[in-house]
Amino acid sequence: MSNENEAFESQFVEDATSLILDPKHPGLGDVEYLKRREHFFALAREYRLADKGVPRVEYTDNDRFVWREVCAKLKPIHEAKACKMYLEGRKILQIPTEDTPQLADLSAEIKELTGFGIAPAEGLINFRDFFGYLARGKMLCTQYLRHHSKPGYTPEPDMVHDVLGHVPFLVNQEYVDYVRLVGRASQLASDEQLVAFNRLYWFGIEFGLIEEQGEIKVFGAGLLSSIGEMEFCYSDEVTRLPFDIFDVTQRDYDPTQMQQVVYVIPSVGEMRKQTEELIRKFGLDASLAS
Ligand SMILES: [Fe+2]
């Protein structure tokens, strides 16, 4: 059961300096798509490394088709399953569903509301660097779209995942303060401790469910940006466990498969409390406070 989680597979490897696509990428035979993907790679890398903000980019009819298709399919599932924090963020940002949004505009609006920002990502970024951006109040987001031949699938992170999964949360102060804390702690972490923060991010921010007035709603960006995962996570094939950070950080995950185990977070505040305990356990609290 392979799916778009493969996007996360190589978060620990060094960042590529030129575009390398997965052999299963549906755009591989499309010269025009590859040219544009290379353009997006180079542009994001240039802006990211020089800290130049987010470039404005032109989208094609194929990109807009993908965006419209995915937005239309996700809409009813989000209305039924997405958590309140996500739906409120979507409402505040008014992310367009008929036309591809510009990251630059979203970033400016988020900045006004919570002080957080967006930095462009050329593709996968290794975890320590990724967390470093969170520590500095920035979420790395991709600006390109998956190939139009398969709107429901991508082997790499794309704008659907980043903008429809992560971005709506960035207007919530409690949320951005939390991911910033995780980012800051991870910058002080040993390699072994970083694995724990990686798992925390995976099972919480990417694939967490959340309790809301007696119901279990979808919180994680990896779930919210995938029709298949959102349906699967409620099925009998999945074990749903109460969120316990010491259990979470002991558990390995397979990014190439649908998630067989997910955690239900009581609230972002509770996840933060448990994260603070982990930070203390790792002996990072004193350095964090200074
Ligand atoms: Fe993500």
pLDDT bin (cut points 50, 70, 90) of residue 79 is very high
What's the confidence (pLDDT) of residue 129?
A: 94
- Determine the distance separating the centroid of ligand 1 and the alpha carbon of 141, expressed in angstroms: 8
What's the confidence (pLDDT) of residue 289?
A: 78
Record the pTM: 0.93
Respond yes or no: is residue 161 known to be catalytic: yes
- Determine the distance separating the centroid of ligand 1 and the alpha carbon of 75, expressed in angstroms: 19
Q: Return the bridge partners of 190, or none.
A: none
- 94 Cβ neighbours under 8 A, 6+ residues apart: none
Respond yes or no: is residue 206 known to be catalytic: yes
What's the confidence (pLDDT) of residue 14?
A: 66
Respond yes or no: is residue 166 known to be catalytic: yes
Tell me the pLDDT of the chain averaged across its residues: 93
Q: Would you say residue 255 has pLDDT above 90?
A: no
- Determine the distance separating the centroid of ligand 1 and the alpha carbon of 128, expressed in angstroms: 14
What's the confidence (pLDDT) of residue 227?
A: 92
CATH number for the domain spanning 35: value is 1.10.800.10
Q: Which of 221, 228, 261, 254 is nearest to 141 (CA)?
A: 221
What's the confidence (pLDDT) of residue 13?
A: 57
Q: 6, 122, 206, 229: which is the annotated catalytic residue?
A: 206
- Determine the distance separating the centroid of ligand 1 and the alpha carbon of 196, expressed in angstroms: 17
- Determine the distance separating the centroid of ligand 1 and the alpha carbon of 223, expressed in angstroms: 10
- β-bridge pairing 261-265 and 209-212: parallel
Burial (Cβ within 10 Å: 0-12, 13-18, ≥19) of residue 119 = buried
Q: 78, 122, 166, 186: which is the annotated catalytic residue?
A: 166
What's the confidence (pLDDT) of residue 288?
A: 85
Residue count of the chain, please give it: 290
- Determine the distance separating the centroid of ligand 1 and the alpha carbon of 60, expressed in angstroms: 24
- Determine the distance separating the centroid of ligand 1 and the alpha carbon of 2, expressed in angstroms: 17
Please write the tens of the pLDDT for every residue from 11-50.
Answer: 455 678 888 888 889 999 999 999 999 999 999 999 999 9
Burial (Cβ within 10 Å: 0-12, 13-18, ≥19) of residue 92 = middle
- Determine the distance separating the centroid of ligand 1 and the alpha carbon of 122, expressed in angstroms: 14
Please write the tens of the pLDDT for every residue from 130-188.
Answer: 999 999 999 999 999 999 999 998 888 999 999 999 999 999 999 999 999 999 999 99
Q: 107, 122, 148, 225: which is the annotated catalytic residue?
A: 225
The environment of the single-atom ion ligand 1, i.e. residues with CB closer than 5 A, is 221
Q: 6, 161, 186, 226: which is the annotated catalytic residue?
A: 161
Residue 170's domain spans which residues? Answer: 4-289
Q: Are 126 and 12 in contact (CB under 8 A)?
A: yes
Give the 3-state secondary structure of residue 218: strand
The structural domain count of the chain equals 1
Respond yes or no: is residue 2 known to be catalytic: no
Tokens of 80: 């039924």
Q: Which of 185, 225, 218, 219 is nearest to 205 (CA)?
A: 219
Q: Return the bridge partners of 262, or none.
A: 240
- Determine the distance separating the centroid of ligand 1 and the alpha carbon of 31, expressed in angstroms: 27
**In angstroms, how far is CA 124 from the centroid of its own chain?**
11
Q: Would you say residue 7 has pLDDT above 50?
A: no
Give the residue-averaged pLDDT of 269-277: 97
pLDDT bin (cut points 50, 70, 90) of residue 1 is very low
Higher pLDDT, 247 or 288: 247
What's the confidence (pLDDT) of residue 22?
A: 86
How is 122-167 classified by DSSP, letter by letter?
Answer: SS---HHHHHHHHHTTEEEEE-----TT-TT--SS--HHHIIIIIG
Q: Would you say residue 4 has pLDDT above 70?
A: no
**Residue percentage of the chain with pLDDT more than 90:** 86
